[in-house]
A and B are shown apart, each in its own frame.
Chain A
Amino acid sequence: MSANKIVDARGLSCPQPAMMARQAIQKMDKGTVEVLVDSDTARENVSRLAKSAGWTVSVEDQPDDSSRIVLKK
Chain B
Amino acid sequence: MSAVSLFLTSRWGPVITGISVGVLAPLLVFWGNPGNMGICVVCFTRDIAGALGFHRAGVAQYIRPEIIGFVLGALVAALVFKEFKPRTGSAPLVRFILGMFAVFGALVFLGCPWRAYLRLSGGDWNAIFGILGLVVGIGIGILFLRRGFSLGRNRPAPKAVGWVMPVIMVVLLVILVVEPQFGRDAEGKLTGPIFFSTTGPGSQHAPLIISLVVVLFIGFLAQRSRFCTVGAVRDAILLRDSRLLYGLLALIVAAFVTNLILGQFHAGFANQPVAHTNGWWNFGGMVLAGLAFTLAGGCPGRQMFLSGEGDADSAMFISGMLVGAGVAHTYNMASTAAGPGVFVPFIVVTGIVVCAVIGLTMREARV
Contact = CB atoms under 8 A, between A and B. Distances in A.
A16 B154 CA distance: 13
Interface in A18-66: 18-19, 22, 38-41, 44-45, 48-49, 52, 65
Given A13-B154, A49-B241, A44 B226 contact: yes
A15 B235 contact: yes
Contacts of B83: 40
A47 to B, nearest CB: 10
A63 to B, nearest CB: 13
B363 to A, nearest CB: 12
Sorting the interface of chain B by its residue count into under 10, 10 to 19, 20 to 34 or 35 or more gives 20 to 34
Interface string B52-96: 000000000000000000000000000000010101011000000
Contacts of A52: 241
Given A12-B150, A13-B90, A65-B85, A18 B155 contact: no
B151 interface: yes
Contacts of A40: 9, 83
Q: How many of chain A's residues touch chain B, expressed as a range?
A: 20 to 34
Contacts of B50: none
Contacts of B200: none
Most buried by B among A10, A22, A41: A41
Contacts of A39: 85
B231 A14 contact: yes
Interface string B115-145: 0000000000000000000000000000001
B3 interface: no
Contact of B239 (A10, A19, A38, A65): A19
Nearest to B154: A11
Given A40-B83, A65-B156, A15 B226 contact: no
Interface string B147-174: 0001111111000000000000000000
B297 interface: yes
Contacts of B89: 11
A45 B150 contact: no
A48 B241 contact: yes
B243 A12 contact: no
Contact of B298 (A10, A12, A14, A45): A14
B342 interface: no
A12, A13, A14, A40, most chain B CB atoms within 10 A: A13
A40 B90 CA distance: 18
B103 to A, nearest CB: 19
Contacts of A15: 145, 231, 234-235, 238-239, 297
Interface in B214-251: 226, 228, 231, 234-235, 238-239, 241, 243
A41 B226 contact: yes
Nearest to A41: B226
A39 B87 CA distance: 10
Contact of B145 (A11, A19, A38, A41): A19
B153 A45 contact: no
Contacts of A14: 228, 231, 297-298
A25 to B, nearest CB: 12
Contact of B150 (A16, A22, A41): A16
Contacts of A22: 239
Contacts of B364: 12
5 contacts: A11-B89, A14-B231, A16-B145, A41-B226, A48-B241
Interface of A: 10-16, 18-19, 22, 38-41, 44-45, 48-49, 52, 65
Closest 9 CB pairs between A and B?
A11-B153, A13-B297, A11-B154, A14-B297, A41-B226, A40-B83, A18-B239, A12-B153, A44-B9
Given A19-B238, A38-B85, 13 more contacts: A11-B152, A11-B155, A12-B153, A13-B90, A15-B234, A16-B145, A19-B239, A22-B239, A39-B85, A40-B9, A40-B83, A48-B241, A52-B241
